[in-house]
Each structure stands twice: as structure tokens, then as C-alpha cells.
A and B are shown apart, each in its own frame.
Chain A
Amino acid sequence: MSELRDLYQEVILEHSKKPKNYGELPSANHKAEGYNPLCGDHYTVFLDIKDGAIENLSFHGSGCAISKASASMMTQSLKGKTTAEAEALFTQFHDLVTGHGNPAEDMGKLAVFAGVSEFPLRVKCATLAWHTLRAAIRGDQEAISTE
């Protein structure tokens, strides 16, 4: 049960039920779609990037609690960050959920996803929105797939 509680922490459940920055972003100048064909998780990430900084961002779509909470908390932690900072945070987050290294101090609330590393099958859920974010920043045209 403790492993399960590590995965499904209160913060994660709250974000999955009431996601932040949820919906389309009218001012978006970057967007990308992400899809996990294995479980049907499907998200779009919208970015408003000005002078290399993420002025605003949002997401919409559907999926499991882990993927939705991850998307919600990602949008919260990236507002105002530069795209280079976002890419760096992507790497830190990826290391966190795959159990590589300790969570960096500046990860803030995202550290609650450390429990995912005990559930290798759920890593894709936790990182789907992040992969989609990176595709949106880089302007990749094709929808991102976890497979």
C-alpha cells in the first residue's frame, strides 16, 4: 500500500481531478499532440512562446490520473521559464521518474512524481505530456507517440 500511496499522492489525485491550465490556449503559437496507443492517453499541449520564453501554456485531452496530473503540474511549473530551462527540467523530470539520480532541489512540487520510479510501466504515463511539450517547443509536426 505504501508504494501505491507514493504513486497516488494527494497532490497527484487533486491535479488529476481538477487539472490546472486545462483547455485550449487562444494565444498559442506552438502546439503538439501526444498519444500513448497502449492505453489510449491523448493530450495536446499549447504554448505561447515569446523571445525564447514560455509566456503561457495549457493542455487538454484525456488519460489516466498519472498522465493528467503530470500534464497539469508541468504547465504550472513552466510558466515564465525559457525553452532552454524547460528542456533542462524535462531531463530532470525524466531522471526522477526513471529512478536516475536524486530529485534536483529546484524541481519543487514535481518531486511528488518520484514514486513513479517504482512502477516502470507507468513511466510513459508520467512523461507523455513532457514529450509532447518538447515536440511543441521544437515544432515537430508529427504527433508524438510513446510507442
Chain B
Amino acid sequence: MSTAVKTPRPAPAVGSPAYDVQKIRKDFPILHQQVHGKPLVYLDNAATTQKPLAVIDAISYYYRHDNANIHRGVHTLSERATEAYEKTRVAAQKLINAADSKEIIFLRGATEAINLVAATYGRKNVGAGDEILITAMEHHSNIVPWQLLCEEKGAKLRVAPINDRGELDIAAFEKLLSAKTKIVAVGHLSNALGTINPVREIARMAHAHKAVVLVDGAQAAPRMAIDVQALDCDFYAVSGHKIYAPTGIGFLYGKTELLEAMPPYQGGGDMIASVTFDKTIYNRLPYKFEAGTPNIADTIGMGAAIAYLQDLGLDNIEKHEAALLDYATEQVQKIPGVSVIGTAKEKAGVLSFVIENIHPHDIGTILDHEGVAVRTGHHCAQPVMQRFGIPATARASFGLYNTHEEVDVLVRGIRKVIEVMS
């Protein structure tokens, strides 16, 4: 089918000259395939990212050479497995600039990290009449654990509003803080809108009311350099599969003094120092929160992913994705009938959009036929959809391997959607 669309202008050269996206793409075997006879254009990175060979190989190497249980056997394999596992902890510490590696707890992902804080810190410190403050742009994983806690304790969930651009209303947020506020939970970067929240300012305001601050970093960690000490947040949650690591692994950062005072999350092996039927002494940090044999292979895979990200440089990745987002936003907005949802001044990685009179689900199917993978739906953020009065959006989300040419394919695909549906 021929289209009357003019070829978009050539992609400008951007980012660091050392950032060679074509070379980077060679590290990701999955990208080199066709979907419906078209080259795959993977723009669903906010849902999950693809894995570089370094990660795939690290997992394979581990199972071929080092597989053993950790923190126990005195044999060589156990020692090697333990060393590789603990190396990832130091890598994670450095990735977010935590003060100490024992402040990194390995878990299944950001969801489990938030649930851990709700179940331990929350259960211990939140009581009847207390409040937990979140924002109107949170992912369900940063809403539901707090609702469960509030229900259990008779506490109240408060929600700070967002404006029409999808930015937090910081004045309204501050007004909602009081002596009753025990926990403030905010996303660093909204998965549905791309908005970057002013976490440092939020933490300063919350701390003035003696509330602790949990930051859901699932979308920010793959897109920008994180410094939890500079942000001064109390907890920071990261999902491995969004930072080019395997699924089923992630981590929680917590300040030492808070983690020390928190009760354990789950009971079992590894989280204890000694057990008798009369009394069990819990292990020191971070093992107090890591009961049972953990996901060793994927933790090691996450270590390889972090090394890969740091090798490229988070600052370079941030610049590269910012250029892609700017270019995509500009191109998409030129198409009649297309509206971008989420136009925050501080924004990264995510382009949510709707097309007049065309349901996002139909957009997704037709783009898929063009080889373009986008997410359509409510993005596990139904309150955000309600805020904007729409059932769903189509969302293109960028990763470190995407190119300007792929944005052009997306834009041509959107024009095709309009043509097919009209």
C-alpha cells in the first residue's frame, strides 16, 4: 500500500558521540527479527526491557559452571555462587549510590519491594487514624499495598492531585501532609505519563512532618542516574526486568536505621542467626529480609545488566532517550487527531497518546502488523485514565537501543492506523 506521507526529515545526530546505537543493538539478539514480515520495532520498554547478551550469557554461565546454594556450603561452587550473588549487591548499591551494600535487599521486583515496606514498616508504624499519602499518577503496585495496609489498620489513604499536564500539584501535596502522615509513597517516573516527580522536594516536605518516603523507581532506574542519598528518600524500589535484567528479580533500598528497626518480612532459612523452639535470633542486614534460597541465577543476571548500563553510562542513556522522546513527540503531534497524554515539563521515556475516535486496542493491533510493539490499555494506572477521562491510551516507551528511524516507523504506523480505521 502506498501512502501519501512525505518521508520525515532525517534523524539528527544526537547524544554523546560515543553512544553508538547501532553497535548497542548488536548486543540484543531479540531485536533482530521480523514480526508480520516487518522488522521488529520494540517500543514497549516501560512494560519490560530486552536483555543484552551479557545478561543471557551470565545466567547460562552460572548454570553451566557455578550453580550451588549460597551462604552455606564450604565447597568451591557454593563459594563462587555466593561471590557472584553478593557482587550484584555491590553493583546495585553503586547504581543508586546507597551508602552501604547491606541496604540493598533482593526481592522479586518493585511490587514485592513496596509490599515488603507496607507489611513490615507499615504494620509496625501505621495505626488507626494515621495517613498514607500517594499521588494520582501511581501504578497499581504503589496503590493497592497501601490500601491493604489502611484497611487492616483503620488508616486513611490520601491522594495528591495532578494537573492537566500530568504533573504533581506540589502545593496540594504539601497541604495534605500532617502529623498524621506516616508514609509518603511516590513514583519517581510515571509509567503512564512519563512525568518525573520532584522526589528531593517531596522528601524534604515529608520529612518535615516526620513521614518516611518510599520511591517507586521501576521506571526511573533504567532511564536516569539515581542517587538515593541526594534524593534523601527512605526506601527506593527497583525491578530488574525494567533495567535490562531478568524477570523475577529486583531490589529494595532502605536506610540502615529503618531496616534495622523493621520486623522481618518472611521467615525461613538464611534470615536467621540462630533458631530454637523458644527463640529465634534474626540475621543481620540484608539477610534478615531474604528468607529461603533466593533467585540466585537472575540476581547474577541483574549484576551483568547493571554492569552493562554503567558501561554505557546512565547519563548517556538519559540523553539518548530524551532525544528520542522529543523527536517522537514532535512527529506524533503533527498527525491530525493525535493527542499526547502527559505533557509534563519534566518527562522521560514514555509517550502516551490517543487518536480521535479510534480505540487504543485497535491502534495496538494495526501497529503490531507494522512490526511496532506498543502497549495499549490503562497501564495498571486506572486512576490516571479516570483523571484524563479516557478508557485507555496507546503508549510507546523508549529504551537504550531504540533509534530515530524506529520513531519514523511508529509515525508511519500511526498514519496507517488512521487510514485503516477511517
* Residues of A in contact with B (beta carbons under 8 Å apart): 1, 3-5, 7-8, 13, 17, 38-42, 62-66, 119, 121-122, 125
Other than the known A8-B420, A63-B361, what 18 A-B pairs have Cβ atoms closer than 8 Å?
Answer: A4-B369, A4-B420, A7-B365, A39-B361, A39-B392, A40-B378, A41-B391, A42-B391, A62-B391, A63-B391, A64-B361, A64-B362, A65-B359, A65-B362, A66-B361, A121-B365, A122-B365, A125-B361
Q: Which B residues are CB-close (under 8 A) to A8?
A: 362, 366, 420-421
With the chains together, A62 CA to B362 CA distance in Å? 13
Q: Does B354 contact A (CB under 8 A)?
A: no
Q: Does B1 contact A (CB under 8 A)?
A: yes
Q: How far is the CB of A43 from chain B (nearest CB, A)?
A: 12
Q: Which B residues are CB-close (under 8 A) to A64?
A: 359-362
B 319-364 contacts with A by CB, 8 A? 357-362
Residue of B357, B365, B385 with highest tally of chain A CB at under 10 A: B365
With the chains together, A38 CA to B365 CA distance in Å? 14
Q: Which B residues are CB-close (under 8 A) to A13?
A: 421
Please tell me if the beta carbons of A41 and B366 are within 8 angstroms of each other in the complex.
no
With the chains together, A7 CA to B36 CA distance in Å? 15
Query: How extensive is the interface on chain B, given as a class?
Result: 10 to 19
With the chains together, A24 CA to B376 CA distance in Å? 29
Q: How far is the CB of A8 from chain B (nearest CB, A)?
A: 6
Sampled A-B contacts (27; CB under 8 Å):
A1-B1, A1-B369, A3-B369, A4-B365, A4-B366, A4-B420, A7-B365, A8-B366, A13-B421, A39-B359, A39-B360, A39-B361, A40-B378, A40-B385, A41-B361, A41-B391, A42-B391, A63-B359, A63-B361, A64-B361, A64-B362, A65-B358, A65-B359, A65-B362, A119-B365, A121-B365, A122-B361
Q: Does B198 contact A (CB under 8 A)?
A: no
Q: Which B residues are CB-close (under 8 A) to A5?
A: 420
Q: Does B127 contact A (CB under 8 A)?
A: no
* Residues of B in contact with A (beta carbons under 8 Å apart): 1, 36, 357-362, 365-366, 369, 376-378, 385, 391-392, 420-421
Number of A-B contacts (CB under 8 A): 51
- Chain B minimum-CB-distance residue to A38: B377
- Chain B minimum-CB-distance residue to A8: B420
Please tell me if the beta carbons of B369 and A39 are within 8 angstroms of each other in the complex.
no
Q: Which A residues are CB-close (under 8 A) to B366?
A: 4, 8
Please tell me if the beta carbons of A39 and B1 are within 8 angstroms of each other in the complex.
no
- Chain B minimum-CB-distance residue to A61: B391
With the chains together, A87 CA to B246 CA distance in Å? 46
Known: A17-B357, A39-B377. A66 touches B369 (CB 8 A): no
Q: Which B residues are CB-close (under 8 A) to A3?
A: 36, 369
Please tell me if the beta carbons of A39 and B357 are within 8 angstroms of each other in the complex.
no
Q: Which A residues are CB-close (under 8 A) to B376?
A: 39
- Chain B minimum-CB-distance residue to A5: B420
With the chains together, A141 CA to B16 CA distance in Å? 60
With the chains together, A63 CA to B376 CA distance in Å? 12
With the chains together, A42 CA to B361 CA distance in Å? 13
Q: Which A residues are CB-close (under 8 A) to B421?
A: 8, 13, 65
Q: Which B residues are CB-close (under 8 A) to A66?
A: 361-362
Q: Which B residues are CB-close (under 8 A) to A121?
A: 365
Q: How far is the CB of B386 from chain A (nearest CB, A)?
A: 10
With the chains together, A17 CA to B376 CA distance in Å? 20
